[in-house]
Structure 1
């Protein structure tokens, strides 16, 4: 946008008032300007990457890590983090307003399949039942379509879980969801999660179908937040749906029960890329980042921002990139 030039003192007062008023309006409009409302603005230069992200804190941290690692490898990077929901940033990727964003592979697959006109409703329904990572990766190409691509998924997955305290796990020798199902045959198992978990196919119905786990369900719509964690650690509920990258799993010494039947969809972190910007160099950088994003690392990154240190996203990302030597060029690490 051109800079607004204010008139000099030699100009007539009437013109001065009008121009200043127009300048003020321009500033207000600039403050409300949404770059994702522009379509088809992609710079064809493969070394210029516009990085976006969803609004959740974890996505913004990972997006900032992408930015730092790409800059270290001589990419020109434009920051468009916090680009809104998937309903906004996926069309923006296709339209040319952003080139790259982190995403969660299972949820991404289901969204793309259900919003791709080339995928039939029947096939989209079939895809929605795929929960294991290899199956999700195998189905992804048909859902991505001609405009999008992904890099390698990170080992870290931000998934739903059945989580218990270490005291409960030790007392009843719980390692898997199946172990908890056996316990539920002998005594009441109370379970806390968002209210929709009671009817979701991967929620209470899925746990009963896949494992025979029967629970006394107690809704709490904080998405596995502090209120749910307090209920769990106090012993008022036996188990809860806590997202696997939640820092409290480490800080409160909680135990995520293994899910060998893949009741919960894999949600490994994955870079979602505009296909026109995919180059070997870009993939090399992004895959190097992904390789380090384990569940433990994701919890630590989230804790660095939300915990007592209260780091800004930029500082947390910078420290992490430095620690893993991702601030150096590929081939010099």
Structure 2
């Protein structure tokens, strides 16, 4: 990374001067932005940073951090708990979910720093016209509507969501829904948003931090029974690198605390809707928040 940034509210005294740190991420928009944010923070604190963001698949990026090829990345607590650590049942409390992942991953040479409020989990969303017609705000209300008027609740979902225990089958069980197969249409992720916006299906499966939720004016249903796992983003750092450069934690903590779903939706939309470059979006946000200067 060659951003000409200097300390703002983070990095004062250049505590990472002399450090050579590699940052990584998965390949989707939000991860590219978060990877850039981490790298820019390290740059402002004086480090030389190698950008290895955009690794295909979840496992590759994690393995880079685990092996020490990368110093860190932003990872999701639910992904670590379920996909990497092999647990089938998520923990309802976001804080307890993070703590369980932190404790379990110590043995893997990984240290989880304090988590953000950014929670990129599943949800159902509808367009404003359908919201005005049906008025549902929670998944319990969607279940009640399905019981009262079965034809009113049609879903657009990904094939993976349709078959995962923490997806549609589990959601139906948790909320007492029994939707007929003809009311469920499987399609690619991007198409779901446009079909939900058009009202072709009453509810579409979405990810809670996706920028298209705001740009397409979709209304998200609250998961009032806390069924869906928590996928809070937090820095996952190679423990050896953190021991060598403990300032990594103090540099990242204020940045992580600013990340929430509203921030994520806004930044993701700049890339997915407006066509901006993820790194430029990250840098603009870091400067706007006063974390760094210059660039």
TM value normalised by structure 2: 0.85
Deviation at 1:205, TM superposition (A): 2.1
SS of aligned partner of 1:192 = strand
Structure-2 residue corresponding to 1:290 = 256
Pick aligned residue for 2:165 from 181, 201, 222: 201
Residues in 1 aligned to 2:186 and 2:163: alpha-carbon distance in whole angstroms:
14
Residues in 2 aligned to 1:138 and 1:292: alpha-carbon distance in whole angstroms:
20
Residues in 2 aligned to 1:206 and 1:280: alpha-carbon distance in whole angstroms:
41
Deviation at 1:179, TM superposition (A): 0.9
Query: Contact conserved, 1:184 with 1:213, CA < 8 A, in 2?
Result: yes
Query: Contact conserved, 1:191 with 1:215, CA < 8 A, in 2?
Result: no
Structure-2 residue corresponding to 1:107 = 79
Structure-2 residue corresponding to 1:50 = 22
Query: Contact conserved, 1:158 with 1:268, CA < 8 A, in 2?
Result: yes
Residues in 2 aligned to 1:84 and 1:77: alpha-carbon distance in whole angstroms:
20
Residues in 2 aligned to 1:268 and 1:234: alpha-carbon distance in whole angstroms:
30
Structure-2 residue corresponding to 1:325 = 290
Pick aligned residue for 2:175 from 181, 186, 211: 211
1:141 aligns with 2:105: no
Superposition misfits of 4+ residues, deviation over 6 angstroms? none
Deviation at 1:90, TM superposition (A): 2.1
1 or 2, which has the higher strand percentage? 2
Residues in 1 aligned to 2:128 and 2:18: alpha-carbon distance in whole angstroms:
49
Question: Cα deviation per residue 1:165-184 (whole Å; 9 max; x = unaligned)?
Answer: 22222322211111111111
- The within-5 A match list for 1:54-133 is 54-114=26-86, 124-125=87-88, 128-133=89-94
Flag structure 2 segments of 5+ consecutive residues without an equivalent: 1-16
Question: Cα deviation per residue 1:273-325 (whole Å; 9 max; x = unaligned)?
Answer: 101122542112212111111111111111111223x2222211111110001
Structure-1 residue corresponding to 2:276 = 311
1:158 aligns with 2:120: yes
Deviation at 1:46, TM superposition (A): 8.5
1:263 aligns with 2:235: no
Residues in 2 aligned to 1:69 and 1:148: alpha-carbon distance in whole angstroms:
20
Change (3 A) 1:213 1:132: farther
Pick aligned residue for 1:234 from 198, 206, 210: 198
Change (3 A) 1:181 1:79: same
Residues in 2 aligned to 1:318 and 1:142: alpha-carbon distance in whole angstroms:
32
Higher relative contact order by CA 8 Å / sep ≥ 6: 1 or 2? 2
SS of aligned partner of 1:283 = helix
Structure-1 residue corresponding to 2:148 = 186
Question: Cα deviation per residue 1:94-151 (whole Å; 9 max; x = unaligned)?
Answer: 222111011122112222312xxxxxxxxx34xx343441331232134313300111
Change (3 A) 1:203 1:83: closer
Point out the structure with max Rg over C-alpha.
Answer: 1
Residues in 2 aligned to 1:242 and 1:204: alpha-carbon distance in whole angstroms:
12
1:244 aligns with 2:208: yes
Query: Contact conserved, 2:118 with 2:233, CA < 8 A, in 1?
Result: yes
Q: How many residues align?
A: 271
Query: Contact conserved, 1:62 with 1:317, CA < 8 A, in 2?
Result: yes
